Structure 1
Amino acid sequence: MSTLNHDEPTHRDLYVRASDPEGILVSDGFAAELSREVHGPGTTPAGDPAAALDDLLAQAREWASAESARYRRVAGSPLFDAARPAVAARIGLNCAPLALNSGAWLQWLVSPGNGDSELSTLVLGLYAEDVGVGKPRSARGSRYLDLLRELGLETRVVPESRLADEPQTLDSAFRLPGVLLAMSRCGAGFQAELLGADVCLRALGLLPPLEFLRDSLHVDARWPALDLGGTAAETSLKIARTFLETGGDETARLLGGARWALARIQEWSGELLDLVVDVLDPAFEMAEMLGQRSRQAAAYHAHFILEGRTLREWFADARDGHGEGFVAALAASKLVKQGKPEVSRLLGRLLDADGPMFRIFSPEDLGVLQRWIASLGDDSTPDVERSAQPAAGSSVLPAAPDSSAAPADDEEPSTIRLAFHRLLHRGDSPGLRRYALGYVSDWLDGSRRGIERVRKPPRTWEPGGLRRWLLDEHDEHDELFQASGDMAAPPREVVLDTYLQLAPLNLVDGSWLAGFTDYRHASSDFGHFLFATHFDELGNGERRLNHAVIYRQLMHEMGFDLPPTATLEFAQWPGFRDESFALPVYWLAINRFPRRFLPEVLGLNLAMELSGVGGTYRRERFNLRSHGFSSQYFDIHNTIDNVATGHSAWAADAVEAYLAGLSAQLGSEAAATAWDRVRVGFRSLKPPKQPKPDEQIAVLTG
């Protein structure tokens, strides 16, 4: 259980809260506090912003080179060889808050409202590289977890609350990633700052302490995945320069984000270097360990006297951060044979099975004791250059939201059109969250009615059976299409109205999966299928293949000049009927709960990807071409959604991976319960009764 103190918020608190994709970070003034943390009282720089960015990145690279040299000098200390495991652990733990989230700050910059822009295409392509698109556990953070596993540190960093409670991790290690993750949860509100921080961090490449871990400590890892430089840095710079072309205040904010990120990295790396130098001295770790154990140990040492004081009193000193005297007293006591841990009482009979300290120390603790005793009598000192960086300055820390006082934007959308508009963006508020949760719950309640009589998908799940079922469904789609014979296209006015009313739906294609852009979900065993699908819907890094872009081209062909999707004008456009927003709002609402409604999202995705393949899409092609319109939107869906290697197959595989994992962990009954929810999600694409408004829209596309 986390011991985080929400009365006095720290960057550790913020890190944990911002790691939750379904958490509420909004409070009055929260965004303003984040902005003050990044920008402070700074002034807007004059001159060419592109040149200013180039100068800043040159400074960042120069600092990284010099800082790496300072770390390398640690290896020249005579104490270094004995301290290797301790040094590796400190670097591994203190790089973890940032490295486990490497690239995560981009996770919510692309939303259903802006996913068709050139900038979003570039950002999503860069982020896809960070999460190892299409491969499970291949995100940069996953690769760093592999490194920690090699160091035996994995159980100390997962989940986020465990890492936040880790005493050997500096407070400063959470400042940069905590604020970055918090800004990422604010949607596009901090786009400029996040892009500035991103280009700065990628210019650094492999962080200096990690470079030291690789070159001097010879730790095995997939280092290329942990290096943010190379092509990723080039893409990030292209994104930053594209953004800078917009000019105005946004330019200053991007540069401010870059400067802030560099300052935080420098402060943290300097503190870590000083810690590494401290750890070279075994007495430092010994004093630290006594301090960490002092609270519980004091209860059992009220009568043992050491140099005229009880151990309880010595432990009180250690708990207050003054354990050096305690260490010195122990070194001079009969409990220790200086330089000879193997014959010291502290590591001998006291720890035997019948001794008073049996199993008190962990293997790591025993290593600290052995190294400390072995070092006694040796006059070697670290004698290594310490950090040249100033101590970290004060910061404005966003406070935990006050649940007793609702923020100013706590109102729920008053109409379905306003809900559509607000849900297009990744920003959140308690009122919008309540609306989304209620809308999804109502929709799923309607989808659940009478489901026991529904035969699709199968009423029971068999491992590996979904792929076979997909093929059967595809055959049925084809048979129905072939049986339609010489079909006639609907009248032109019907075609125009049909596809116009589908615009709010098809212009947010893939939005039901937007929650799986979240860093942890995007590369999970089943989530990687969903992220890869979402990435495809948005063009797979090519704007010309973005489904919303293609559908807008169809609208233009039909003579409809629609406002940009993200604008209020689009939601209020009089050519749309209210019922045309019912299903899109469901998609936009459910994507905010990728954990709470995971089985239902998996089922909805399976229904979406299978719905038109082999049948409906071919009819749409015929209808459009009969009236001289492009059928590209439906043609591309009929190919990428195919049941062999496409989205339908991925959807089935995602369900299989999820249920198989659930069955292995919790048993077949849990998997069966989850399958029932998957079936409800499948049916939710076309429920028997939709919540609000009451009228239904005929869903023709996926």
Structure 2
Amino acid sequence: MTTAQNPRAWRRERTFVPFRLPDTIAALPRRPFEFSPAGRDAAAAASLEPRALFHRLLRDQESEASLLLSRRILHAFLPSEGEHPEDGPYAAAEPEAAAAIIAAQVAEVRAELAGTADALGRPDPEPREAVVRQRAPLALLGGCWLDHVSQPATQPSVIVNRLFTHHLTLRGPGNGKRGLAHLRRQALETEGVHLPSIAAVDFLDKARARPLTALHGCFYLALSRLPANFLPEVVGVHYAFFALGTDDLLTGTAPPLSEQRLREALVAYLALAGPDERRRLRAAVRLTLDLEREHTAMLTELASFRAGLSVEAKVAEIIARHAPLAGTQHGGVRVGDRLLSDIFGASGPARGEATAPGLAAFLTEFRDSRYLRPTGSGDGGCRFTDAMRFGGPMFGIFDEREAATFRAWATRVHAGERPEIEIPPDTVGDEQAARWSTALARSAPADVVVAEADPRDHRALFHRLVNIENFPNTLPLAAERAEQCFQDAEILFVHGSGGRYTDATWFDYSPQALYERAERIYWEKLVEPYRPLEEIPDRDEVLFRQSTYYLTYLIDGAWLHRLATLGHDERESDGMLFSIYADEMGNGDLRKNHITLTHRVLASAGIELPHIRDEAFMEQDELPDDLYGFALQQLCMCLFPDRFYNEILGYNLAIEMFGSGEMRLHEIQKLRHHGIDTCYEQAHLTIDNFSAGHAKQAADIIVSHLDGVRRTLGEAAVAAEWRRVWRGYASFAYFLEQPMLKEIAAAPDTASPAPPPPGDDTVSELVI
């Protein structure tokens, strides 16, 4: 007998600790991190070269290897337990007093760094520009550790939602142009530093990032990948980084978060934290202060190094930087008895021979060549510098500062100056970087376990997906499951018009066609069929029907929680999706958080459950076993926000539209009749409307994304992207329209019978 036939059949005698609001968790229980043998091998094969590692962490948010590398980085940077024992006053202090101790420590270092920043503001323009450019990667990473802090395993935590309000501020509330990254870029450009996207392949090259800068960035990125397991460290790093305000001191910009606001969050966390969490937080504060001191010391060293460079050394540096791109473009140009194409070709400096002695020898020859002899034009020009002018063969190759350096050198050469050319090696920060690199190479966290994922049932799989930070070995299963569902759902491209609440039949995309389809579904399937119920089912039946929804209500918004993170947030549609997710989380207001609303409803119905992150949730006896498929699909696809971006857009449209209309109104009527809280249903009825709510926004997001595809890749690319978007919509309908799928499967003339939802033992009527 299925649960759809017997509303009480799923209940079993179980014991667990119920979850109650507010969620006052300060840290998840310490658990091992499981990786598959393949994930272990991929991480072992990954480059630990600082720049390569930085790019890997920034651009890869979906693989086991990236998570294992993150765990190793955190182990290398964070102190071991007991390495920083807490002093008595801090450990025993009330929250406000403990926060004051930390704040005083940070303020002391800030005063120290303020003097350093002031000194760094006075160098000549070239050293100053080098300092600002070098700091840029860390300035633009600021706050990345909050990207994934809001997730199914942590919501609706008190501290996570407080941090989420900070995250909203850093992103720019409702407008990315007011966000920290945009403001930081404006400050950089004011200093003459123009950089590509932080995810661009040449970002670190253009920032001229030293290994130490890249390694510091790797720590912050690693923390952003495992925030649920390192929540005390997130809070500590967050407070220290922004209260210290190194970037504000260097550029003279206003702090994005006031110290008062930061301290309020710190006090709130300390009120929740136990001794272990307090120790971990303070250790993270100390580490952040040490890192920022270390980096500003490197910036001071860099400014001194740049200020002490001779013109010849600066010329050599520019040539070394451009040599790898020179290739064989110089034809028959010779310096001495060698072709430039040989010097900068396969056997020259461009291929690893750009040593200081080699460059010095080349410049010694070059300054006496005909290319640097005065042209006699009276303007101090020569063939080399004239080639950089508009219309010359090297126009646009060098930026203005580089061209000015070449002109200054030519002027000195013309004046007869022939100093011995010495090119000091640039080793700024290398000693400190070597120390971190050694620690990383030796890092072997004891809590890493190598095993294949083998969840025994849907409950175990659900547990692993909610706690994916601890079970990265489940990622391959999740990707396979999500992809299979998307493929299976395409049967509705043909049969979808018979859906009661959806219509997933295929149509050729145009913005007008999408809006017309969505509006027709909204009115004809969701709104116009509504009639008030004349008879209300009994309480047990109403609660059973609600129980078929609760599993997905408890992960509300999860399909969006990994979108629009640092390095993956440059499309207009990304910001729009993040705004919807923020609404689902109440914009950090716990009273409006949809997970909070779900628990309110559960409590009003007398239903007690553990938190979904807890192992005890696998033993709960309130939610039916055979309805996990819907929630599992949502959790599977959300773990791949890059791979399944298009599908998530379509799914988002379907689920936001379903928030309105007949079903929602009937549920409100039944819940009210039995005295059960309707806050969750009411919130979605209001927020998901197709006038200006999430349903309309979801359609706008698809149009915005596909318009970007058309403008960048052409019209032909839109069709392929659209098919994936629409199968995302169909995947929602695939679970929702089970009665119709039963009919399709039973029809003798069905060419492609509808498969059951992936992994479900029975075809359950999610909506009856």
Pair 1:690 & 2:716 matched: no
- Alignment of structure 1 residues 265-304 onto 2, 5 Å: 265-280=292-307, 281=309, 282-293=311-322, 304=336
Distance 1:295 1:372 in 2: 22
Report Cα offsets for 1:483-535 as digits up to 9, x if no partner. Answer: x3553122211112222342221111111111215234456310222111111
What is the identity, as a one-letter code, of the residue corresponding to 1:261? T
Within-5 A mapping of 1:407-418:
408-418=450-460
- Deviates most, 313-322 or 39-48: 313-322
Equivalents in 1 of 2:173, 2:761: separation in Å? 39
Give the distance between the partners of 1:541 and 1:576, measured in 2 at CA.
28
Tell me the equivalent position of 2:354: 319
C-alpha offsets along residues 387-445 of structure 1, whole Å, 9 cap, x if unaligned? x999636114546999xxx9614424232111111111351655211111111012112
Aligned 1:88-237 pairs, distance under 5 A: 89-136=129-176, 139-145=179-185, 154=194, 159-166=199-206, 168-205=208-245, 207=247, 210-211=250-251, 223-224=253-254, 227-230=255-258, 233-237=259-263
User: Relative to structure 1, is the Cα distance of residues 472 and 425 closer, same or farther in structure 2, using a 3 angstrom cutoff?
Assistant: same
The structure-2 alpha-carbon separation of the partners of 1:196 and 1:329, relative to structure 1 and needing over 3 Å to count, comes to farther
> Distance between the aligned counterparts of 2:172 and 2:316, measured in 1?
42
Q: Which moved more, 1:527-536 or 1:321-330?
A: 321-330
- Farther-moved stretch of structure 1 (134-143 vs 578-587): 134-143
Give the aligned partner of residue 24 of structure 2: none
CA contact (8 A) 1:107 1:519 kept: yes
> 1:241 is matched by which residue type in structure 2?
V
Q: Tell me, in whole angstroms, the C-alpha distance in 1 between the residues paired with 2:132 and 2:767.
A: 52
Q: Which residue of 2 aligns with 1:562?
A: 609
How many residue pairs get matched?
A: 659
Match of 1:53 among 102, 121, 145: 102
**Aligned with 1:262 (options 280, 284, 289):** 289
1:461 aligns with 2:502: no
Offset of residue 9 of structure 1: 1.4
Alignment correspondent of 1:239: 265
Corresponding letter in the other structure for 1:61: R
Whether the aligned pair in 2 keeps the contact of 1:137 and 1:523 (CA below 8 Å) is: no
Q: Sort the Cα spacing of 1:7 and 1:669 in 2 relative to 1 into closer, same or farther, 3 A.
A: closer
Whole-Å separation in 2 of the counterparts to 1:441 and 1:664: 28
Match among 527, 547, 550 for residue 500 of structure 1? 547
Which consecutive residues of structure 2, in runs of 5 or more, have no partner in the other structure? 1-43, 91-97, 419-427, 498-502, 735-740, 742-755
Alpha-carbon deviation of 1:96?
2.5
Q: Following TM superposition, by how much is the alpha carbon of 1:203 offset from its aligned partner in structure 2, in angstroms?
A: 1.0
**Matched residues in 2 for 1:254 and 1:39: separation?**
11
Inter-partner Cα distance in structure 2 for 1:674 and 1:374:
57
Please state how far the C-alpha of 1:338 moved relative to its aligned partner. Answer: 9.8
Equivalent residues of 1:205, 1:229 under 8 A apart: no
Aligned to 2:405: 368
Moved more, 541-550 or 687-696: 687-696
Q: Relative to 1, partners in 2 of residues 1:428 and 1:562: Cα closer, same or farther, differing over 3 Å?
A: closer
The partner residue of 2:625 within 578, 589, 592 is 578
Unmatched segments (≥5 aa) in structure 1: 75-79, 215-222, 380-387
State the distance in 2 between where 1:646 and 1:560 align: 30
Q: Percent identity?
A: 21
Secondary structure of the corresponding residue to residue 543 of structure 1: coil
The CA deviation at 1:628 is 1.5
Return closer, same or farther for 1:155/1:235 CA change in 2, 3 Å cut-off.
Answer: closer
What residue number does 2:591 align with? 544
Q: Does the CA-based 8 Å contact 2:84-2:283 persist in structure 1?
A: no
Q: Secondary structure at the match of 2:78?
A: helix
Flag the 1:442–1:89 CA change in 2: closer, same or farther, 3 A. Answer: same
State the distance in 2 between where 1:166 and 1:6 align: 27
> Match of 1:188, SS?
coil
Aligned partners of 1:626, 1:640: CA distance in 2, in Å? 23
* Cα contact 1:156–1:162 (8 A) shared by 2: yes
* Residues in 2 aligned to 1:492 and 1:443: alpha-carbon distance in whole angstroms: 34
* Residues 15 and 179 in structure 1, CA contact (< 8 A), matched pair in contact too: no
C-alpha separation in 2, matches of 1:104 and 1:303: 49
Question: 1:409·1:429 contact (CA, 8 Å) conserved in 2?
Answer: no
Question: In 2, Cα distance between the equivalents of 1:564 and 1:358?
Answer: 64
- Return the offset for 1:696: 3.8
Alpha carbons 1:6, 1:13 under 8 Å: kept: no
Q: Which SS does the other structure have where 1:113 is aligned?
A: coil
Amino acid at match of 1:252: R
Please name the residue that 1:219 is paired with.
none
2:310 equivalent to 1:248 = no
Displacement of 1:65 after TM fit? 1.3
Q: Mark the CA change 1:616 to 1:154 in structure 2 (over 3 Å): closer, same or farther.
A: farther
1-side partners of 2:516 and 2:327: how far apart?
Answer: 64
For the residue of structure 2 that corresponds to 1:545, the secondary structure is coil
Q: CA deviation at 1:93?
A: 3.0
Return the alpha-carbon distance in structure 2 between the equivalents of residues 164 and 407 of structure 1: 33
Report if the CA contact (8 A) 2:76-2:439 is conserved.
Answer: no
Alpha-carbon offset, residue 366 of structure 1: 2.4
Deviates more, 1:122-131 or 1:573-582: 573-582
d(CA) in 2 for partners of 1:180, 1:249: 22
2:757 alignment partner, SS class? coil
Residue 200 of structure 1 contacts residue 261 of structure 1 at CA under 8 Å; is this kept in 2? yes
Distance 1:594 1:320, change over 3 A: same
Cα drift, residue 600 of structure 1: 0.9
Query: How many Å separate the matches in 2 of 1:55 and 1:96?
Result: 27
Q: In the TM superposition, what is the alpha-carbon distance from 1:655 to its structure 2 partner?
A: 0.6
Cα deviation, residue 62, structure 1: 0.7
CA root-mean-square deviation: 3.9
